[in-house]
Structure 1
Amino acid sequence: MPLKRTMTRLVPPTALAAALATATLATTTTPAHADAGSGVIRGTVLETGYVIAPGIDVSLYTSAGAFVAATVTDSQAGAYQFSGLEAGSYLLWFENQNEAVSEWYDNQPDQLSATPVALADGATRVADAYLTQVSENLVRPTVSGTAAVGSTLTATQGTWFPTTSVEFRYQWRRGGAVIDGATQPTYTLRDADSGSRIAVEVIAVHQGATESALSAETATVTGGQPPVSAIGNTTPPAVSGSTTVGSTLTATPGVWTPSDATVTLQWLRGATVVGSGTSYTTTAADVGATLRVQASATKTGWTAATASSAAFGPITDSTPPTVTKPVNTALPSITGTARVGDTLVAGRGAWTGDPTAFGYQWTRAGVPIPGATGDRLQLTALDAGTAIGVAVTATNAAGTTSSASPASVVAKAASSIAVVAKSPKRHKLKLKVSVTSAGARSGAVVVKVKVGGKTVTRTYALAGGTRTLTLRGLRSGRAKVTVRYTGDASTTDARLVKKRVPVR
């Protein structure tokens, strides 16, 4: 039996059976008992959304209302089965206790109106059910009126159960497609409907859930002006071939609906038409520009359409350009402070010939400095007093050219001196001298101590920028200590004066 849809809230089967017992029945079939025969009644139960409904209670009664057996639908297919039945007439009750939804077979609200299932000896009957919380359509909607442009069609909602607290909505359809804005029980036919069939969909809404039913279509709508269809392009035209000038390019027209539309092609450079047909040979006028193909599709009774290919190109000259070696038009330069410890930065200068790469070589007094091939150079003690320059090499496909910057003479690094003094024993003074500089710090320090009316002067060589020294035989008193760093080839001199130190 085909799948049906209904919903109803019922009193329990036992109460209905009691009511039947007091009623006058035309049939007095003797109750059948399970396992007494070889007949089978089985089926599948679905619920709202047409999904499998496991755990649904299914009860079997004789047509006279006597209870026979009960079962529960399984979890995999929502199926149930009663076996071992005698031949006879049976009634089925389906109930989803969780959602308070139930029905008698087939879509009946009570046992008196339930559809009996007649079972022959040894036969198998299938009885499916659909339990939904939403109002269910029992008789399809209908459409009345004349199928002609200008006429008004009227919808009847059909038969639904239940209808309490149910809202009914309407949606008219043309050839199965939704007609925008056509949501009333009536619809006046228009030119756009000419040549089509019209139907109405009725939607039942209950607590946010919906069920719908579609009427049969009307006859083909007559009169009016049928709408003109537009030709459609599903695949645009395309261009293939070489971008080198003088090559012959080929175009495909693309894919059109309907397929028998007539398609013509034009070749365009910008907005200028330069050719027609499926092929085009590029000329010198096309060099540097892109080309595209525009397809125009026509058919009698249809609206024409156009489509363009993607841009193709740019078209290039077949003669490669002449390349010459780079030529320097502005000398390389050096920026930064030319002083030991600082960093110099090379500027490339200006070149013709579109160089593709640049190289650098720093020089000291005109001689290349090993390993100094980047665009930066940090100056060391070796550079003090020398002329530092940089040669820049520019390279392209035609060769290499070098050009040197003006030289910069490197100044000595600045220096500073620090002295720690103390008198560890009588008539002695111990000094620790430290020179800070980016230069070599290889010069000497001159120490002058004046104490008790006597002056002592000593000169000491530095080792690694530091020196610890002791002066003996000094008089006791508050000594005035002067220390001077004499500098070296890479470091300027520095002086520390008027340091007062007590001597024991």
Structure 2
Amino acid sequence: MTRLLHHLRPVLVGFVALAAALVVLPAVSVPPAAAASTYLCTGYASCKDAGYSHHGYRTEGKKMWWQMYSGHNCTNYVAYRMVQAGMSTTRPWVGGGNAEYWGEHLEGRTDQTPMVGAVAWWKADVPGAGSSGHVAYVERVISATEIVISEDSWGGDFHWRRMTKGTGWPSGFIHLADKAVETTTPVDTEGAARVGERLTARTGTWKPAASVAVQWLRDGKAIAGATSRTFTPTPAVLGHRLSVRVTAKKRGYKTGVVRSGSTMKVRRGILANPSAPDLSGTPRVGETLAAVRGSFSPRPDATTVQWYADGKPLADATTGRLELRPGLVGRTVTATVRAVREGYRPLVVAADPTTVQRGRIGTDGTFAVTGTTRVGERLRVERGATTPRDADVTYTWVRDGRPIDGGKGASYGVRAADAGATLAVRARVTRPGYEPRLLTLPAPARITTRPGVDVDPVGGPRRAVVAVRVAAPGVPEPGGRVTVRIGTHEESARLVAGRARLVLTGLGAGRKRVRVLYSGTPVVEARRVVDAVRVTR
């Protein structure tokens, strides 16, 4: 058929010249010559049954498209596919319509890159084409050297072919209505347009499936480095509108580019407070409370503290610590922490409040009563240290737990009435804003009394009679035992009503030393007295 058309070409040219005054004649194309290709199907019905579409040309091919001859004709089929792809029904050039002219008239749109939807074009008299050239429609691009085309041919039939670059490869590819990857679902953004809150790009579903790249935009302009599917607005985009541009690429297809609608203007972010502020320390006068600032997310640029009492801010109380003074007793205290970060709303969070209690006065344990615990002596209080140091101390002396009339002050003269008693002093430590503290300080020992011992020895023949009388302040009639010793002779007796009479016999004549020992009692102290007596023969 190719050779026959070649011989008829002069006749056809003459016919075209004759008819030119009436209409612009449609073009014809000769069927392609054999090429490095594999036929996938032949014929409209067979191709359809095999899953290779003729895209309606079986019916629409009865029409002339771009003034090409209808029916089995490569140019009419490809023109139909171009119009079907959205091009005008008017041929996009002026001049001959034979396949060989397509690439020449559309030179600016012709290159060596196969694309889906492009026109595969063969020059005249090249392998794969006859004297009028050939055109086909690129259905798939497997690689830069392998494509799948659909075609029709003058005097031939409809085909789908798989071609590998080599003999019969197209002379070029004309890009008139190349197919681009397209979305079947919208490109959009998901999330709130707020500083610090992540936005997600919905990149859409693309047909055919393609690799996508994302670019986030601020007021329509690209944001440097913002090319992932998620974007967290920074302070730099505060007050601006955001959108996302998705670029989809697939080998053999025009790049698809879709831009989403714009968000609302980006608002200030919201700081989170996973861990609330807290107050650390004992809420008592004299103690110090510390404001534990808690945690914030994201991390703030700065935090400040303000202390409050009964809901009112305390002057000059803006550090992390608050000394509790007497004026705060009974008041409810709290601290607020204000966190700030660029691009975010300030966040003020309060710690749980606490009520300030009276303070507790501390002592160092060195308070003590000193002095001799004897009637007639003076006891004194040795004051220890207090916290606070300026606390006031008052003293009350007690006898066996009962206050002593006139027993005030830091010292006390021990009285006869105290003999045998246990003395102590009650030290009351006070300071405004503090709970009074009462210390009971015992005397070192039970109160004793020092006796007076009166000895009256009378000598006789080889004997001596010793009368002993014991008197003690605070003890009307002391008891206890008295021992008298003269030389090696010794006698003892128990006092009765403070008196005792002892007789020592078998003594030698002469002046003798009399030693008297009063053993005392738990209250009356022991006493030694020495006297003398003359013993006769």
- Bigger strand fraction: 1
Tell me if TM exceeds 0.5. no
Larger gyration radius, structure 1 or structure 2 = 2
TM-score calculated relative to the size of structure 2: 0.29
